[in-house]
Amino acid sequence: MPMPTRALALALALFGATAAHAGDAVTDALQEAYAPYRVALFRTSGKSQDEAQQAVAQAQMAWRSMAERLGAKPAAPYDRDAEFAARLAQVNALYERAAAAVRANRLAEAHEELESVRELLADLRRRNGVVVFSDHMNAYHAEMERLLVEAPKALDGPSGTLLAMSQVGALDYLAHQLRLQAPAPLQRNAEFEGLLKDVEASVQTVKAALLRQDAAAVRDALGKLKPAYSRLFVRFG
């Protein structure tokens, strides 16, 4: 079961900067294979079957290559994880199902299969005491998805904008964590800075609309959260 968002946020804060930069060869290999995965996840949320098929194939190839290099006996800190090989196999099975769904032009189904990859890899790192920047991105994503479901419901009820404001506070905190926990190379990256500012601005736009108690503006601003996050996630998540 995935860790609740607030609990994960607390855990990330407790691990601090040292755990956020794991630096071990296995985590580095996993993160390298994670880059084409992010593109595949993004493409399967779109409408182009060809683009999705190409992206999933590239991500699947990168995953298989990485898994073959790591083998069944990974180095520390994963060397005492009895489920490591099984977890790699589970991820591979998800890629197989996602690829089949894309071939059938069921992109939404493929996207859901790939979403589970993110959860499996996050759990693998968590069990082995590893925190990377992707975990902070995942915490933001989980809270964003919750907000997108719950805030519109709150707006329809009594004191709706006040309740929604309390919900957006957690997202504001997690957006700040993205800046604080970004590794030094990202902090020096101009593209990362620009995309992160877009994420921060999207949250502030929601807050400003809530402060004005403008429900229509809040709904419009909520619709801009996911695009800003997706651009950052694809490149650096």
Worst-scoring range by mean pLDDT, 60-69, 152-161, 209-218? 152-161
Round the average pLDDT of the chain to a whole number and report it. 88
* The pLDDT value given to residue 118: 93
81: pLDDT strictly greater than 70 = yes
pLDDT tens, position by position, 87-128: 999 999 999 999 999 999 999 999 999 999 999 999 999 999
61: pLDDT strictly greater than 90 = yes
Q: Tell me, yes or no, whether 199 and 159 share the same domain.
A: yes
* The pLDDT value given to residue 70: 84
| Final residue of a structural domain among 80, 99, 127 | 127
Residue 41's H or E segment, with its range, is helix 25-43
Band the pLDDT of 159: cuts 50, 70, 90: confident
Tokens of 211: 């402060």
* The pLDDT value given to residue 11: 37
35 domain residue, yes or no: yes
Tokens of 204: 């502030």
Q: Tell me, yes or no, whether 120 and 143 share the same domain.
A: no
* The pLDDT value given to residue 16: 36
Distance in angstroms (rounded) separating the CA atoms of residues 109 and 173: 31
Q: Tell me, yes or no, whether 91 and 170 share the same domain.
A: no
Q: Tell me, yes or no, whether 123 and 142 share the same domain.
A: no
Distance in angstroms (rounded) separating the CA atoms of residues 40 and 216: 33
7 domain residue, yes or no: no
Q: Read off the CATH number of the domain in which 141 is found.
A: 1.20.120.290
| Final residue of a structural domain among 127, 149, 165 | 127
Q: Tell me, yes or no, whether 97 and 47 share the same domain.
A: yes
Q: Tell me, yes or no, whether 110 and 139 share the same domain.
A: no
Burial status of residue 28 (CB atoms within 10 A of its CB: 0-12, 13-18, 19 or more):
exposed
Distance in angstroms (rounded) separating the CA atoms of residues 21 and 106: 37
Q: Which residue has the tokens 């991105």?
A: 137
Q: Tell me, yes or no, whether 223 and 157 share the same domain.
A: yes
55: pLDDT strictly greater than 80 = yes
Q: Tell me, yes or no, whether 153 and 115 share the same domain.
A: no
Residue 172's H or E segment, with its range, is helix 160-181
User: What does the pLDDT average to over 148-165?
Assistant: 85
5 domain residue, yes or no: no
* The pLDDT value given to residue 166: 82
| Final residue of a structural domain among 127, 162, 189 | 127
Total domain count for the chain? Answer: 2
Band the pLDDT of 156: cuts 50, 70, 90: confident
38 domain residue, yes or no: yes
13 domain residue, yes or no: no
| Dihedral sign of CA atoms 89, 94, 98, 101 in order | positive
Q: Read off the CATH number of the domain in which 28 is found.
A: 1.20.120
Angle at 169 between CA 135 and CA 120, to 5 degrees: 20
pLDDT exceeding 90 applies to what percent of the chain?
A: 79
| Range(s) of the domain holding residue 217 | 133-236
Band the pLDDT of 155: cuts 50, 70, 90: confident
Band the pLDDT of 63: cuts 50, 70, 90: very high
